[in-house]
Amino acid sequence: MNPPEKTAPSRVRIQTGAAAVPAAVTGTTAAPAFQPELVFDSRDVSIFYGAKQALTAVTLGIRRGEITALIGPSGCGKTTFLRSLNRMNDSVSGFRIEGSIRYHGHELYGGNVDQVEVRRRIGMVFQKPNPFPKSIYDNVAWAPRNLGLRRGLDERVEAALRGAALWDEVKDRLKDSALGLSGGQQQRLCIARAIAIEPDVLLLDEPASALDPIATGAIEDLMHSLKGRFTIVIVTHNMQQAARVADRTAFFSLETGGEKPVGTLIEVGETERIFAEPRDPRTRDYVTGRFG
């Protein structure tokens, strides 16, 4: 887009990663041989809150440079899974995880893992826009300042705001409070805030659910433009949205076999395939039900 845009080297690296994708297209979850291209490799993950089990036996690989959508009915654990990818659940009381999530081959819940380092590399945007009660500029500059990235801060803020397609709307009022922005602008500001520190992964938790259709469209366009630069995982309840933005889609649902229903992963694959020819009847019911 514009010249001082982010790091050329990392883009190159991502594209080589993406170039390797076709080789693995057919496998739903990665065989060990293809592990290097996976950003996240979760195996048999179960999550509990106190005595209540929220998620069972999720085995799912997230590929580098792609957009992966997590869809499914409410309460199926897709947000829980997303939040466990950058350890946002750690502060929830009673949270417990079983199984293994590897991030670039490193155990995410391993002994010497630093939570803050995890979140520095894996950014997150929440369902409800949550800008800080600071100026627009300070919202974006806050995290880079923490990281000590004071050199070229103005350019960094501008690049992040451009990256979030917000620059033209706010460039004349950077010192104004972020709380004066519209909901859609606030959400794009939150995305700008997250990409300002150039993370490796972006986790988006129903980022457009609180927004009107126009703002939703803006966010979806934005995701297309961010694709390739970041690995993106998005939770959405809106299937059209998943179909529009995602390379791959994972369908979560409630497993009703046990005493209490527990969320689990039903099926994952290329987005077109999931919507056009779902293999699991539950996926088919959900997908056709919503579309029909």
Q: What's 230's DSSP letter?
A: B
At its nearest, how many Å lie between another protein and the CB of residue 201?
8
By CB under 8 A, residue 124 contacts another protein = yes
Q: Is 95 or 251 the residue whose CB approaches another protein more closely?
A: 95
Point out which span in 5-13, 53-61, 207-215, 280-288 binds another protein (CB under 8 A): 5-13
By CB under 8 A, residue 72 contacts another protein = no
Sheet with 38-49, edge to edge strand ranges: 106-107, 95-103, 38-49, 52-63, 262-270, 248-255, 67-71, 231-235, 201-205, 122-125
By CB under 8 A, residue 189 contacts another protein = no
By CB under 8 A, residue 61 contacts another protein = no
At its nearest, how many Å lie between another protein and the CB of residue 35?
11
Runs of H (alpha helix) within 78-152: 78-85, 115-121, 136-146
By CB under 8 A, residue 7 contacts another protein = yes
Q: Which H or E run includes 194?
A: helix 183-195
By CB under 8 A, residue 284 contacts another protein = no
Cα(64)–Cα(232) distance, rounded to whole angstroms?
8
Contact (CB, 8 A) for 136 and 176: yes
Q: Is 131 or 278 the residue whose CB approaches another protein more closely?
A: 131
Q: Is 196 or 245 the residue whose CB approaches another protein more closely?
A: 196
Cα(85)–Cα(83) distance, rounded to whole angstroms?
5
Point out which span in 3-11, 65-73, 241-249, 282-290 binds another protein (CB under 8 A): 3-11
Number of residues that bind another protein (CB under 8 A): 55
By CB under 8 A, residue 51 contacts another protein = no
Contacts with 24 (C-beta within 8 Å, 6 or more apart), sequence order: 30, 34, 37, 63
Encode burial over 222-240: b for 16+ CB neighbours within 10 A, e otherwise. Answer: bbeebbbbbbbbbbbbbbe
The residue ranges of DSSP E strands in the chain, in sequence order, are 38-49, 52-63, 67-71, 95-103, 106-107, 122-125, 201-205, 231-235, 248-255, 262-270
By CB under 8 A, residue 191 contacts another protein = no
Subset of 130-159 contacting another protein (CB under 8 A): 130-134, 142-144, 146-149, 151-152, 155-156, 159
Contact (CB, 8 A) for 190 and 160: no
Tokens, residue 155:
């350019």
Point out which span in 41-49, 86-94, 217-225, 271-279 binds another protein (CB under 8 A): 86-94
**Quick one: which of 1, 33, 117, 257 contacts another protein (CB under 8 A)?**
117
By CB under 8 A, residue 225 contacts another protein = no
Cα(137)–Cα(51) distance, rounded to whole angstroms?
43
Residues near another protein, by CB under 8 A: 4, 6-10, 39, 86, 88, 91, 93, 103-106, 108, 110, 112-114, 116-121, 123-124, 126, 128, 130-134, 142-144, 146-149, 151-152, 155-156, 159, 179, 190, 193-194, 197-200
